[in-house]
Structure 1
């Protein structure tokens, strides 16, 4: 798994890298579900070391991880990545998974290199609270209980505002001006039949990011596992800024939370990081492009199990303030399938890592 154009980058080159990776929490890594993976390779003591080795090797400036259990953040990832110069922030999901043991609840973790960035602000998005507010405000009393049962899911998003350090600017900086960067990290883990809830959560996150954008002219990254394939309504909203009113996903809306459909918009100029390669020509890139979907310009897959192969993970960026310099080369399906699927002894998650290198550009005016 190699880089395209990244390995030779210098800290002074005016670029920074972002990694997004769903690492598969121990609570979900059951032998029943992944019985094609040897039990020793599925064990957490093995996987955590293999994942750490992989993550550290990418040398990313910012790391967005999903499915990080709270005990694993406190006892392993935070202290281990601290040794490599990273500071970590964490947001745990709001409900208890399986056993009722709070340690096994997973969440989102965002790390950044202390020599490149400092932490300015953290926003925590709890979709449960937003669901309760929505139900209180718009759902008739007789339907409130049904609505809460449908809408209340324990997903979260962690939004971190960072400031580039003056002596190590990854940006073309105006003298004396603070250079901020907003990084959103989320895991939208909603059952596939609740298409309305999934779209509503993504819309809620984007509206929150719009408020941050309105208060400061700030480059933004939106990373994570959205559990949404290219062409789905959440993907359309993220990538196009709107959802076609005739989109088939909108048929599922028993509580009318998506109406009017004209409200399903946002003004952030978000672009898919991997789509930039669809416009590139040259040796090496052609092979890379064969691993992209011709219609959406997304990777052909970011999640590979025995029963599913497809793209669920994304890195979006605001194209008025950031440009993609390079990307992590995508894996080909053949090399993954030699072990049936993911996870495997070589790759310790059922997802693959996405990594993009960005350069900050002069901010064009945002509408």
Structure 2
């Protein structure tokens, strides 16, 4: 891993995004949206929508779309701090409201995981309102595709909380995300008389097979007796569907593993037909960790091409 200054790294990021030639780009940890991403990607033909994280955080999530490929028709933003309002006064170490569980139930930390904020910074971990206020966000939007004409699709992008010891918080965020997506799909369906497929991407800070990943693809997790029937919608992972989850999407000296995913609602209207290849752990361009001169982010880009039925 090298000391890669933003001026050089930003241009390398822009080159990669340009070379992808994607109709949609979903980016997380975007902390230079107004000063870099928005204007530079506009020059490449992209319009965009963006949400900044709550509190004092400068980064956020953005969806960038080719204006000659899609038209934005409606959007909604997701602030996971809204979960704090679901906690009743007087609740302390464990609470469950509207299917959202928050407690002291934790996973073992990943090997080499960093302590990104101190216990003091995060407040009392036994107060569910404190646990849920993690300043994480997401964004979702409905687009009318221009080819095939008049076909609608929902694109969503999110970044869940990082700490593997606070798995209950990530589960709560995942449940809220799918609940909001289900409601948004109903809104789009009623407004435009359609049944739009969903593509959900993001940094889920969850490895394959852990509680969040299991919940998103099956509706089950070790914190509750849920079944697939409890999920607001069924989802499949693009990489698992086509070739198996990648060996890793995040590569640092302290941790190497898969944290990023593209999920889609399996139906006859949309199907992944190809995916972006990722390097293997032994590849010379990732040895030593990221970012480096080959990969300007500590996360590798993932991508897929979908066939959409009109």
TM over 0.5: yes
Unaligned ranges ≥5, structure 2? 96-123, 190-194
Alpha-carbon distance, 1:265 to partner: 3.0
Within the alignment, does 1:324 sit opposite 2:272 as a pair?
yes
1:128 aligned counterpart, secondary structure: helix
Quote the Cα distance in structure 2 between the aligned partners of 1:338 and 1:84.
28
1:343 aligned counterpart, secondary structure: coil
Alpha-carbon distance, 1:336 to partner: 4.6
- Residue matched to 1:270: 235
- Residue matched to 2:56: 96
Contact 2:161 2:169 in 1 (8 A): no
Contact 2:182 2:233 in 1 (8 A): yes
1:160 aligned counterpart, secondary structure: strand
Mapping for residues 198-277 of structure 1, pairs under 5 Å: 198-215=170-187, 216=189, 217-240=195-218, 242-244=219-221, 247=222, 250=223, 261=226, 265-277=230-242
Alpha-carbon distance, 1:214 to partner: 2.8
1:116-170 per-position Cα deviation (integer Å, ceiling 9, x unaligned): 11111110010001x222113xx535679822111111000110111112xxx1x
> Please, which of 80, 87, 106 is the counterpart of residue 127 of structure 1?
80
Alpha-carbon distance, 1:343 to partner: 0.8
Within the alignment, does 1:347 sit opposite 2:289 as a pair?
no
Quote the Cα distance in structure 1 between the aligned partners of 2:202 and 2:144.
21
- Residue matched to 2:39: 79
Alignment coverage as a number of residue pairs: 272
2:87 aligned counterpart, secondary structure: helix
Alpha-carbon distance, 1:106 to partner: 0.3
> Please, which of 310, 318, 323 is the counterpart of residue 257 of structure 2?
310
> Please, which of 148, 163, 177 is the counterpart of residue 129 of structure 2?
148
Contact 2:247 2:258 in 1 (8 A): yes
Alpha-carbon distance, 1:201 to partner: 0.1
2:29 aligned counterpart, secondary structure: strand
Higher relative contact order (CA 8 A, sep 6+): 1
1:87-125 per-position Cα deviation (integer Å, ceiling 9, x unaligned): 01110000214xxxxxxx100011000001111111001
Contact 2:29 2:59 in 1 (8 A): yes
C-alpha RMSD over aligned residues: 2.0
- Cα 1:164–1:338 change in 2 (3 A) is closer
Quote the Cα distance in structure 2 between the aligned partners of 1:336 and 1:322.
36
Within the alignment, does 1:117 sit opposite 2:86 as a pair?
no
Unaligned ranges ≥5, structure 1? 1-35, 98-104, 251-258, 279-296, 363-367
- Residue matched to 2:248: 301
- Residue matched to 2:112: none
Quote the Cα distance in structure 2 between the aligned partners of 1:197 and 1:338.
31
Within the alignment, does 1:107 sit opposite 2:72 as a pair?
no
2:142 aligned counterpart, secondary structure: strand
1:193 aligned counterpart, secondary structure: helix
Alpha-carbon distance, 1:261 to partner: 4.4
Q: Which consecutive aligned stretches of 4+ in structure 1 deviate over 6 angstroms post-superposition?
A: 142-145
Contact 2:50 2:63 in 1 (8 A): yes
Quote the Cα distance in structure 1 between the aligned partners of 2:278 and 2:41.
24
Quote the Cα distance in structure 1 between the aligned partners of 2:180 and 2:131.
22
Quote the Cα distance in structure 1 between the aligned partners of 2:210 and 2:91.
31
- Cα 1:192–1:264 change in 2 (3 A) is farther
- Residue matched to 1:192: 164
- TM, length-normalised to structure 1: 0.70
1:274 aligned counterpart, secondary structure: helix
1:51-101 per-position Cα deviation (integer Å, ceiling 9, x unaligned): 0001110000000000001xx11111111111111001110000214xxxx
> Which moved further from structure 2: 210-219 or 298-307?
210-219
Alpha-carbon distance, 1:213 to partner: 2.4
- Residue matched to 1:159: 140
Radius of gyration: which is bigger? 1
Contact 1:153 1:190 in 2 (8 A): no
- Residue matched to 1:52: 14
